[in-house]
Copies of this chain bind each other. A is one copy, B any other.
Amino acid sequence: MKLRARTEISAQEERAIRAVFSETRRVGPDQVVVRAGEPVNVSLLLLSGWLARGKDLSGGDRQMTELHVAGDFADLHAFTLKRLDHDVLSLTDCRLAVAPHQALRELTEKFPRLARIYWFLTNVDAAVHREWALSLGRRSALARIAHLFCELHARLDVVGLTYGDSYDFPVTQRELAECTGLTGVHANRTLQELRRRGLIELANRRLTILDKAGLQGVAEFDPDYLYLERRDF
């Protein structure tokens, strides 16, 4: 569904893609799904739930580098890297489809177009990293959180997980702070400021964007970096 939002996938390609996944796996919340540094020979497609990628410093501080939702190939880059420089963490219960690298290698050799599509997906992840770097380096706390909420709405919309201007947001304030380079306390105060301005509602793990133009304005959000438009490969 996520691929078809961007390009045509033939029946033959779809069969080949489905054949890559050897099994599905379930993990509970707050698990280390893949640990940094360990050799990996499979990649994980997230079917449901939320994952995060995060790097730790020795002092205990953690920086998330991306959030993943259903449809995301969470560690496809491990196909070429063979180990990860960060942990993959489950934020909720998750269902994962497992793609052995050997099968991915055969798929991409047989279907160079699919290789380009998967390569593209990892490059979009890199584009998300760059946008986060811009947030972390130059945006205020208010704009960082606003921007993240805009990004997630756009990405969840692709896979049909938005309900108008709202979506499930099962991320704790501490985790949100770990994404935005803030402390939990300040993330809390910033959320309250977003509420006070009438931009969002956030309660019971459900986020509603009350003023989309206002939120996007605060964030200077422009979805170009998500490369959502349809295209040839």
Chain A residues in contact with chain B, CB under 8 A?
Answer: 37, 53, 55, 57-58, 61-63, 65, 77, 79-82, 85-86, 105, 108-109, 112, 115-116, 119-120, 122-127, 129-134, 136-139, 180-181, 220, 224-225, 227, 231, 233
In the bound complex, CA of A139 to CA of B231 (Å): 39
* Known contacts A53-B130, A129-B129, A181-B136; A119/B231 CB under 8 A: no
Given contacts A57-B220, A63-B138, A122-B126, 10 further A-B contacts (CB under 8 A): A63-B137, A65-B130, A80-B119, A80-B120, A81-B227, A85-B131, A122-B123, A126-B126, A136-B181, A137-B180
In the bound complex, CA of A120 to CA of B57 (Å): 25
Contacts of A80 in B (CB 8 A): 116, 119-120, 123, 233
* Known contacts A77-B123, A133-B129; A37/B220 CB under 8 A: no
Contacts of A86 in B (CB 8 A): 130
In the bound complex, CA of A123 to CA of B233 (Å): 19
Interchain CB contact under 8 A, B129 and A55: no
In the bound complex, CA of A137 to CA of B181 (Å): 4
Interchain CB contact under 8 A, B85 and A139: no
> Which residue from chain B places its CB closest to the CB of A118 in the assembled complex?
B119
21 A/B residue pairs, CB under 8 Å, sorted by A: A55-B133, A57-B134, A57-B138, A57-B220, A58-B220, A63-B134, A77-B126, A79-B119, A80-B116, A80-B233, A81-B120, A85-B130, A85-B131, A86-B130, A105-B116, A108-B116, A112-B112, A119-B122, A122-B126, A126-B126, A133-B136
Nearest-Cβ distance from residue A224 to partner chain B, whole angstroms: 6
Contacts of A65 in B (CB 8 A): 129-130, 133-134
